Structure 1
Amino acid sequence: MIEDLGRSMAELTLTEDLATDSDHQSEGSDDDSVASHSVAVDVVPEPTHDVPAGSRMSALHFAALKSLIVPSDRECTFTLLHRASDGEQLSAFLPHLQMRSNLVFLIYPEAPDVGPFGAYEASNFACGLRLFSLSHHHFDKATQIALSGQSMQVSDRGSLIFGSSDGPGGLISQKLGYGDGKLRSCYHNILLSALPKGYRGARVAGYALFEGQDVFRAREVEVFRIQDYVPLSRLSDWVHQMAILL
């Protein structure tokens, strides 16, 4: 099952710092955070596509997400497949991903409340990896982060691990189901030297910690499938193409 999953996933996206419509669409608000979020997605000030049914994503963030993944001259449909709040155990969720491609994972963070976890075994798969940030806490606008030497791991305990490494320590590590096999248990860090200029988020010992620390508990994780979407660059059948938004 692990190998089938690895070979069938063609597009995978993670995103953090997304909020509900009510958080970002209140007209005339004086709240600084609302204004900051408007700047973060200013590349698409007038979204014309509806948020997928069942998602808590804001319309502005959905439009920004589409602008980074889907060329402007193409129409694609985003369908919500699963929410962690409807069933968090990742080991039970993984079978539903087999034979599906163009998957998008959205992570809604909250205050970190999980501690260190033990090690576990994982199977590795080569991939093409794209990393983006939509958060105003990280950059002034939606930003793409170039990476090389990418891989995806699927653990026997039901965890997904995404990474990029040019040497000891690696450039990026992002994990779902970290330690306990639950979708909302997350781990993330990225080497500061791998980031473009303008990063203003938390940093410790040469690494950027997008959520303030490497281990955190997501408020929600949503999984979508993009239909009618063909990646701009074709990769061989056994290599994945992933896009990660943070």
Structure 2
Amino acid sequence: MTFQQQPYPAHPPPPPPTHADYDIEKHSQFHRASWQPEAIPDKKRPLTERNCCCRCLCCACCLPVWARYIVWFIIIGIIICIIVIGALLGTFKMPEVNVLDVTNPPGTNQLQIDYNGTEFDIGIGLIVNVVSPNNLPIHLSDMHATATLPTKDGNAFLGSGYLAKHTIPTHSNANFTFPFTIQYDTTSSSSQLMLNTLLQECGLYGGSDPTDITVDYTINLAASVLFVTIHPTISGSASFACPLSNDGFTSALGGAFSG
């Protein structure tokens, strides 16, 4: 009797799955399902939230005839106002401002000198010329001005002024008086240099003839046109006759000490 040897398989068959294997597979499938992001469907906005302007126009067409006329009149009026205001603001030009001369302070007919023990305040008026080519009036407010006087040792502080408000008419070439105060501090060497230079140029010190004085000024203000307000800074130089004369300065100085 002969026996034939059966060939062994190359790979043995896997063992049958157990209950533990089924539990592990279910656990893995559960975790994969829990971590898988849900697909978010694309949602379109409702029709009531789209093309609002077109829908409003369509609704306006459904109104009675008289109501449609009123709605279209308002819409056309708003468009015309926007175009006109834009054109006016687009052609706006800053006015030309120049200091022409000096005069007495507003409301008085002579220099005003006040002395508080350490400082002299000399009140004068500056004649300011404004040329405005604009089609709209300009409302100026909160105007602060400072000025310096060139001396041999550099610029020395001359004084300051303030004006609450002023209106520039359309297409105007007009003057107005800006109140200004020359401030001399007896304890300041810079003020002493300023006063000596001012008196010398005015012919009140050193026996010289009076000459025009030149000052550098800076004006900070608020300018309003319609509903638009800007805050420009105007800087420049001006030359004018000396504000101090021998008779006027002496009488004003005497009034300051007597008061």
Structures share a fold, TM > 0.5?
Answer: no
Give the TM-score category using the shorter length.
Answer: under 0.3
Bigger radius of gyration among the two = 2
Which structure is higher in RCO with an 8 Å CA cutoff and minimum separation 6?
A: 1
With normalisation by structure 2, the TM-score equals 0.22
Query: Which one has the bigger strand percentage?
Result: 2
With normalisation by structure 1, the TM-score equals 0.22
Query: Which one has the bigger helix percentage?
Result: 2
